[in-house]
Amino acid sequence: MNYTIYRIVKKGIYMRLIIDNFAKISKADIKVDGITVIAGENNTGKSTIGKILFSLFNAISEIDEKIAKQRIKEIEDSCRLLFRDYSMHSSPKSIFMRNSPMLARIIANQFDMELKKNNRLEKSDIYNIIHESVNKRINLDELEDIEWSTMLETMTDKIESIIGLSEKDITLEVVSRYFNNVFHNQINSLVGNSVDAKVQLEIKKKLIDLTFKNNECTSFSADIAILHNAIYIDNPFIIDSLSSYFDLNTMDEYLRDLLTNDFKDDIMDGIIESVLVKEKLSEVYKALQNVVDGQIIEKQDNEYYYQRDGFSKPVYFNNLSTGIKSFIILKMLLEKNILKEKDIIILDEPEIHLHPQWQVAYAELIVLLQKHFDLSIIVATHSPYFLDAINLFSVKHGIDNKVNYYLSSMDNDNQVQMERVTDNIDLIYKKMASPIQILDSLRYELNNK
């Protein structure tokens, strides 16, 4: 890709997400700086904001490396299949059949090295690389000229097509697949699906720009590289899948992989960062231990347990209450050093499985995590307790200037509008209070019959 890697300065990651005609949302201009709270009634596109950010970050994060790795994998797979195919019709049959995996790997490794030096190989270069790689393992003089030359020509053509495929086209396909997996092939507006859907992400005046038509990404440009992770949390039951196989959606599968992999090749890997993190996490852990005052145990059989203080035996994850599971996810993200400074966390209605008292505790954890990690946290909620807790704790912990509030609503054309109400969050409280007013009216009616 032709973008510049722009490292976010330590003062924080300020982002602006601009959306036009994407799914239910007709217009949105969202400031993502610290904690972004999106409130509103059901079916008003609150979750869409978080899903767009998740899809965007994880689709194009390290996209160059992902594409290069996939090219080499495709070269190896294609070579192995061609070797096996030709071995079925060659004499002797066993020469390529027996050596096909090894030969394919050798060829792929050689192309990996060559493409890192020069990504514009001529057809003659490709031909010679294949021939020389195979000749190191098999005496090609023993083969009939027509047999080997035919396979060599076919393999050269195949690898030439793989190498020649433009990075732009591959990127568009990657973005299309990722967004469609998350949005189930409903990217373009169902109301006016002939209109292009547009997403722009501005980071420190650097722009990432995407356009979708007929649920496919038709244009993509970026003058900034994504350097941080985006983690989407909406399902506490994800920890039940750590010990068992579950068919998961894209967001849950990504989170499960994070929780079950340590990403450490050596005992020293990440040790400095781990110590630095622990030094500044005492306040976060103190709040977390008020709810989850025990240890997470991973046994050799890949089973996960929670050993709570005072319990004689550890509790299997599946047997934990749903509320505790919500806190366990945060605890694991911290203890495995998965969360990094300036990462993105997307929380979709985290209050659903929490008692009001735990909603307050969870909200304080979010505020503390933002404060100590300088995270960008997007929260979709319709709980007045949760909203109020974020509002008050952000003031208590001195980050209220890094919290933005939005109210989502449906217009007469069934399109979602997002209104920034940071300076007047009473509009959200009024919206959330309407059910209480309905019940008060009903109570008055019943009492006066």
Where are the chain's structural domains? 1-62+170-229+355-449, 65-165, 235-339
Tell me what pLDDT residue 196 has: 93
Tell me what pLDDT residue 269 has: 52
Residue with tokens 């009634």: 41
Looking at the chain, the whole-number percentage of residues with pLDDT higher than 90 is 40
39-80 pLDDT, tens digit per residue, is 988 888 889 999 999 999 989 988 888 899 999 999 999 998
Tell me what pLDDT residue 92 has: 52
Neighbours of 64 (CB within 10 A): 13
361-395 pLDDT, tens digit per residue, is 999 999 999 998 888 999 999 888 899 999 999 99
Query: Residue range 248-276: average pLDDT?
Result: 65
- Pull the structure tokens for residue 361: 């505790």
Tell me what pLDDT residue 12 has: 47
Order of all β-strands in the sheet with 304-308: 294-298, 304-308, 315-316
Tell me what pLDDT residue 341 has: 83
| Residue 121: DSSP 8-state | -
In CATH, what class is 65-165? Answer: mainly alpha
Is residue 271 pLDDT above 70, yes or no? Answer: no
Nearest to 162 by CA among 71, 228, 97, 232: 71
Is residue 264 pLDDT above 80, yes or no? Answer: no
Q: Which long-range contacts (C-beta less than 8 Å, at least 24 apart) are formed by 9-15?
A: 9/204, 10/374, 12/342, 12/374, 12/402, 13/203, 13/204, 13/228, 13/342, 13/374, 13/376, 14/203, 14/204, 15/201, 15/202, 15/203, 15/376
**Cβ distance 35 to 390 under 8 Å?**
yes
Neighbours of 401 (CB within 10 A): 11
pLDDT band for position 38 (cuts 50, 70, 90):
very high
Higher pLDDT, 92 or 325: 325
189-222 pLDDT, tens digit per residue, is 877 557 899 999 998 889 999 999 999 999 999 9
Tell me what pLDDT residue 274 has: 55
Query: What angle is formed at CA 393 by the lines to CA 391 and CA 397, rounded to 5 degrees?
Result: 125
Tell me what pLDDT residue 405 has: 96
CATH code, residues 1-62+170-229+355-449: 3.40.50
Is residue 360 pLDDT above 70, yes or no? Answer: yes
Is residue 416 pLDDT above 50, yes or no? Answer: yes
Tell me what pLDDT residue 6 has: 34
Average pLDDT value for the chain: 84
Out of 35-49, 85-99, 178-192, 421-435, which region has the weakest mean confidence (pLDDT)? 85-99
Higher pLDDT, 401 or 9: 401
Out of 226-235, 251-260, 304-313, 324-333, which region has the weakest mean confidence (pLDDT)? 304-313
Q: Taking the C-alpha atoms of 94, 98, 101 and 107 in order, what is their torsion angle to the nearest 10 degrees?
A: -60
Q: Percentages helix, strand, coil for the chain, rounded to the nearest 5?
A: 50, 20, 30
Query: Residue range 291-312: average pLDDT?
Result: 78
pLDDT band for position 1 (cuts 50, 70, 90):
very low
Out of 213-222, 264-273, 309-318, which region has the weakest mean confidence (pLDDT)? 264-273
125-155 pLDDT, tens digit per residue, is 999 999 898 888 777 666 554 467 888 899 9
- Pull the structure tokens for residue 434: 């309407």
Strand partners, 15: 32, 203
Tell me what pLDDT residue 35 has: 96
Same fold, 1-62+170-229+355-449 and 65-165: no
